[in-house]
Chain A
């Protein structure tokens, strides 16, 4: 039962060389897949294609078997540029509650759901304030709360923890794991933090430099219940982290030689 299926996805913004160079990726229902790759390689572009916000120049994208044409239903996105994606004229609570109008919830229900989501990201008292009154890390958590309150079946997160401090970041990673377990949503998480990609992911997909392709696709063979200290000490975690790090840097070091690159990565786990 393949939920998200991407084949031969290419995209170019109109320049002479493409950003995505034929991405193949299958994400089964209810998985949490981390996506890593050098900055500027096209991770955000990939997420925008999946979200139906840009029409890719080539390839096919299907969600539950039907082609993605426009924004899929039941989708939430945490944009990389979180501060610009919050509406400055709405309070924090109204920002989080706005998408819930589609859920047929009453005003008190929407407010309660927004408050609950804000509490879950550690912002119980921010509801009445405006986004611009909050720090960058707090704004980022508001945009995560907005996605969580929506309870989507597919959640796309573009470097969602980039601006929060280390302690909060670990809390949010654990929150994400818990939400993923209890709400059975499919999550694609783009991150530049290699540790994080292994810690939260069922799988880690490594993209190489543009035009981006799937450089490696590794299964994370760690126990489902994870712990910040214990899991990070496991030999398998350490091995995977080194492996992903090597792959990301390898992709970055030789941008012009993708075919040879893919060949040398002998321990790639392909998903077929």
Chain B
């Protein structure tokens, strides 16, 4: 409100914020450009060359398709679909199991060691098992992403559920809320900050595992596939283009998640001081 009263201040602050935010990366990229041009190494193409390759590969399509090329449909789209599906399954499984575990002190006591054990197994080592359990291709890829991404959501949900304020549960009990009402109006909202923390971890894990899963046999599309293909063809600019794109996607997804989190948890702004 005070900012709205002084528009010049607001404009100044926005400009200042943008400057703070974008100046360091801009300087970095400029430095990178200068260094790679000076070095002229075939393994380190300048950022301008990487950007050009990215445009040629993925963003040279017609305006009606948001400039996405056919190649983007073969690499970016399947990757994002796998990641999205796997993330969805991880959230569903993680939240449901986490709620069940968090509500039952005993179930958690029994299962916690097992969960911590399963959590630290790197998904790549499970590939021989998955080969037996799942079909090569999408099933296998999604399974390996889920196996890595579900744990932070599950454990954080269970933790959040366990730390529901005792008096809030007493209140729910005193007014005899049904089990469903308790979950919807008391348990989930109070566990939500922890669930979001788990989700952030799961998001970055699933991006990593998405690339990994596309290195598995039975893959014929996706960014990971494009990466290995470019590698075998010694197509260095494409390798860099994929790497940069993955970085940009990771940053984008994280920003979106943070924005959603800020909206959903807006009630915490007023209470965060006391917590």
Contacts and interface: CB of A to CB of B under 8 A. Distances in A.
A80 to B, nearest CB: 10
A76 B175 contact: yes
B181 A101 contact: yes
B171 A85 contact: yes
A98 B168 contact: no
A99 B170 contact: no
Contact of A87 (B176, B178, B186): B186
A89 B167 contact: no
Contacts of A77: 170-171, 174-175
B9 interface: no
A84 B168 contact: yes
A89 B185 CA distance: 9
Interface string A143-168: 00000001000000000000000000
A199 interface: no
Contacts of A101: 177-178, 181
Contacts of A102: 175-178
Contact of B177 (A76, A79, A89, A98): A98
A79 B171 contact: yes
A87 B168 contact: yes
B267 A88 contact: yes
A85 B165 CA distance: 9
A81 B174 contact: no
Contacts, number: 64
Contact of B271 (A53, A132, A150): A132
Contact of B167 (A75, A84, A98, A133): A84
A130 interface: yes
Interface string B172-188: 01111110010001100
Contacts of B270: 88, 130, 132-133
B171 to A, nearest CB: 5
Contacts of B178: 101-102
A51 interface: yes
A177 interface: no
Contacts of B267: 88-89, 130, 132
A201 B141 CA distance: 70
A71 interface: yes
Contact of B174 (A53, A84, A87, A133): A53
A199 B165 CA distance: 35
Taking each of B171, B174, B175, B190, which has the highest tally of chain A beta carbons within 10 Å of its own beta carbon?
B174
Contacts of A76: 174-175
A101 B178 CA distance: 9
A63 interface: no
A105 B168 CA distance: 23
Given A90-B185, A130-B267, A85 B167 contact: yes
Contacts of B170: 48, 53, 77, 79, 85
B171 A150 contact: no
A51 to B, nearest CB: 6
A185 B175 CA distance: 16
Contact of B173 (A71, A73, A87): A71
Query: Considering the complex of A and B, which 7 residue pairs feature the smallest CB-CB distances, nearest first?
Result: A99-B175, A132-B270, A89-B189, A77-B174, A89-B267, A84-B167, A85-B171
Interface of A: 48, 51, 53, 71, 73, 75-77, 79, 81, 84-85, 87-90, 98-99, 101-102, 130, 132-133, 150
Given A73-B176, A90-B189, A102-B176, 13 more contacts: A71-B173, A71-B176, A77-B170, A77-B171, A79-B171, A85-B171, A87-B168, A87-B186, A88-B267, A89-B190, A98-B181, A98-B185, A150-B175
6 contacts: A53-B170, A88-B268, A88-B270, A90-B185, A99-B175, A102-B175
